[in-house]
Amino acid sequence: MPKTVDGQITMEKTPSYFVTNEAPKRIHSMAKDIKLIVVVRNPVTRAISDYTQTLSKKPEIPTFEVLAFKNRTLGLIDASWSAIRIGIYALHLENWLQYFPLSQILFVSGERLIVDPAGEMAKVQDFLGLKRVVTEKHFYFNKTKGFPCLKKPEDSSAPRCLGKSKGRTHPRIDPDVIHRLRKFYKPFNMMFYQMTGQDFQWEQEEGDK
């Protein structure tokens, strides 16, 4: 990590840290007072998005339905497939809580980041002890991509959006597969809500009460 002087905050982003077993211990030995930010979204949507990204690079891979099940007839989900495993957030968080208190971890809702980016960014800035500089006026909703883009309110330059790899159209997935995935994730989601003290309402969003 680069050297940081007083008054500066150094940030680094690597999504795989959260799901890498060795990461919490290594990070703790480097900087035990570090603040951690984790963006999470509905694990079913996350798995489909993960697959969509892989599909764009490797069009020859099997269908989502084939990869998601160990046994389709019995409805056995293949939790060893990384697209599925990553969304078992409670499992990964358990590893982190062995090294860091919950007070040092902020969980950002991926869904709310789309519908209320300024609100989620306010939480991030408060968590980092920063002045709330990024507000509503810094966001512009891009209808084509389906998510907010950043803009500088003080100048007329074009808003900055995430690249082509973001906002891809997802392939159509058999509704029965989605239903089985929801059932698979539900107990893990409940455990995650309990561990974090936050209800991300993924079940309500799906109408799967």
What tokens appear for 191 in the block?
Answer: 């455990």
Query: Any binding-site annotation on 28?
Result: no
d(CA 71, CA 59): 23
Checking DSSP bridges between strand 147-150 and strand 139-142, what pairing results, if any? antiparallel
Measuring CA to CA, which residue among 42, 44, 45, 36 is closest to residue 15? 36
209 is in an annotated binding site: no
Would you tell me how many other CB atoms lie within 10 Å of the CB of residue 83?
Answer: 20
Q: How far apart are CA 196 and CA 207, in angstroms?
A: 22
Answer yes or no: is 169 a known binding residue. Answer: yes
The sign one gets for the Cα dihedral 56, 174, 207, 200 is: negative
* Cross-strand pairs, 149: 140
Beta strands in 18-72 (DSSP E): 36-40, 69-71
* 41 annotated as ligand-binding: yes
Binding site for 3'-phosphoadenylyl sulfate: which residues?
41, 49, 166-170
Binding site: which residues?
41, 49, 166-170
